[in-house]
């Protein structure tokens, strides 16, 4: 799946990138209004209890749960940012000395982060890897330490 607005090529469905982030606040506000409208109908309009129940159920299942998932994903991204601050930037001399490629994506490194065990990886590659496993992809050392 791809979009025209993002700068990424290809997959726009990763946990770190959502193309509709600009409109999520609008969706959440509309969901709240829909929920409140359902309550109004339930309390003040006669003969529309079933309609109000369906509107409230729709607001919960389609909007509130999505908002909750988005909030959890946001908190996870914040944790990932904090995790990445533990790993220092590799100097250009270190990268030239090693002449290494990133073991995760096998691309040449112009900038990298150094893990506690001394291995270098692209910042983005390391962030995605840590999301899957908090072990060094080369030596399997625990990166949480």
Q: Is residue 12 annotated as a catalytic residue, yes or no? A: no
Q: What pLDDT was estimated at residue 21?
A: 59
Is 94 in the same domain as 142? yes
Instruction: State the number of CA atoms in the 13 A half-sphere of 47 facing the CB.
Output: 0
* Domain contains 11: no
Q: Judge residue 143's burial from the number of C-beta atoms within 10 Å of its C-beta, 0-12 exposed, 13-18 middle, 19 or more buried.
A: buried
**With contact defined as beta carbons under 8 Å apart, do 88 and 121 qualify?**
no
Q: What pLDDT was estimated at residue 9?
A: 46
**Domains in the chain, number:** 2
> Cα(21)–Cα(42) distance, rounded to whole angstroms?
32
Is 63 in the same domain as 101? no
Is 42 in the same domain as 74? yes
Q: What pLDDT was estimated at residue 64?
A: 85
Domain of 102 in residue numbering reads as 87-145
Write out pLDDT tens, residues 36-95. Answer: 877 777 777 766 667 777 777 888 888 888 888 888 988 888 887 787 888 899 888 888
> Cα(116)–Cα(144) distance, rounded to whole angstroms?
9
Write out pLDDT tens, residues 90-141. Answer: 888 888 888 878 889 888 888 899 988 888 999 888 888 887 888 888 899 8
Catalytic annotation, pick one of 102, 120, 125, 136: 102
């Amino acid at each position: 799946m791809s979009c025209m607005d993002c700068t990424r090529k290809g997959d726009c469905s990763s946990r770190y990138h959502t193309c509709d982030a600009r409109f999520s606040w609008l969706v959440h506000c509309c969901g709240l209004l829909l929920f409140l409208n359902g309550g109004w109908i339930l309390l003040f309009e006669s003969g529309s209890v079933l309609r109000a129940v369906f509107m409230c159920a729709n607001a919960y299942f389609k909007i509130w749960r999505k908002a909750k998932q988005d909030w959890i994903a946001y908190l996870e991204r914040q944790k990932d940012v904090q995790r990445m601050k533990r790993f220092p930037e590799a100097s250009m001399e270190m990268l030239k000395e090693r002449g290494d490629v990133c073991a995760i994506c096998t691309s040449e490194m112009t900038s990298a982060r150094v893990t506690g065990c001394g291995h270098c990886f692209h910042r983005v590659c390391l962030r995605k890897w840590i999301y899957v496993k908090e072990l060094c992809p080369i030596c399997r050392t625990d990166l949480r330490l």
